[in-house]
Structure 1
């Protein structure tokens, strides 16, 4: 476990703010990548004086926002057609998409608020 922590801290140390930006960008896209993985090492490095905490937070927020906008762009460009085309590779059928759409019509606003 310590090796993983050291690896992540070294990424933040070696790539600096760019590494934080990339990790936070990934966190907001399709990849399951928790934001804590990027921001905790940034806080640690800031406490050691190797980073500016305010700028690390700014860069992390910008990366997260741009990752979310990237997702929005993909959804806007490919939409339902893209989900059906590429969803088959992830066992996501049209029937499942219809169920998701129906659920979102009923609970979309609340679901989005709670899960984001």
Structure 2
């Protein structure tokens, strides 16, 4: 761990600072909890959480291998929840329910479902590497009754590759504290900007859909 007055999270502000302090407090299992939540309902993206976890591992606050294990387990459990939901309710009913969640729109699920139809089981592996698809691809897999063993294998492989790359990036940057501070400021702006864009797109989509439904009702 860092000695003296300096703390591994000192100088990290905004949502990145909050995430870093939360990870430092909750430990490796907190990383797993974050990745589980991000898989189901993206609160703070893994692009923020995992490099910070790798950075804290380099500082000695976390165990690197346990961070990788818990983050991959969390990603798998989150994916499994959506898989089981799709298998239980079917695609349409699942989409109708989940599209009511904040910052989630029906078109996002339909995009993931279309990706699964086009690419089949390989979409479970490669989808874990694609923001916007990674969190939602499990739903159509469950609805299509994809074998659980195949789903588990492809999910663990894809999630492990994604998590390992981001954790490794943070670990390598762990010796460059100044770069971490600059990285955190950039990520803050990126996350805030992404949230703003997501809100605007969600409002625009739902406004267009409501207008189309009103026009259909008049016909």
Offset of residue 15 of structure 1: 1.0
Between the aligned partners of 2:16 and 2:99, the Cα distance in structure 1 is 35
In the TM superposition, what is the alpha-carbon distance from 1:104 to its structure 2 partner? Answer: 5.0
- 1:26 corresponds to 2:37: yes
Number of aligned positions between the proteins: 112
The question of whether the paired residues in 2 share the 8 Å contact of 1:30 and 1:71 is answered with no
- Root-mean-square deviation (Å): 3.2
Please state if 1:115 is matched with 2:142: no
Distance 2:21 2:112 in 1: 40
Map Cα deviations across residues 47-91 of structure 1 (whole Å, 9 max, x no partner): 111111011111111111111111101111111352364267476
- C-alpha contact 2:96 2:106 (8 A) present in aligned 1: no
Give the Cα–Cα distance (whole angstroms) in 2 for the partners of residues 70 and 53 of structure 1: 26
Question: What is the CA-CA distance between 1:101 and the residue it aligns to?
Answer: 6.3
Q: Specify every segment of 5 or more residues in structure 1 that has no aligned partner in the other structure, as ranges.
A: none
TM-score by length of 1: 0.73
Determine the C-alpha separation between the residues in 1 that align with 2:115 and 2:25.
44
TM-score, normalised to structure 2, is 0.42
**Residue matched to 2:48:** 37
Aligned pairs for 1:50-69 (under 5 A) are 50-69=61-80
- Alignment CA distance shift 1:9-1:103 (3 Å): closer
5+ residue gaps, structure 2, are 1-11, 129-219
Bigger helix share: 1
1:68 and 1:104, CA in 2 relative to 1: closer, same or farther beyond 3 A? closer
Aligned to 2:210: none
Larger Rg: 2
What are the residue-to-residue correspondences of 1:76-91 with 2, within 5 Å? 76-83=87-94, 85-86=96-97, 89=100
Structure 1 residues 102 and 37: alpha-carbon distance in aligned structure 2, compared to 1, 3 A threshold:
closer
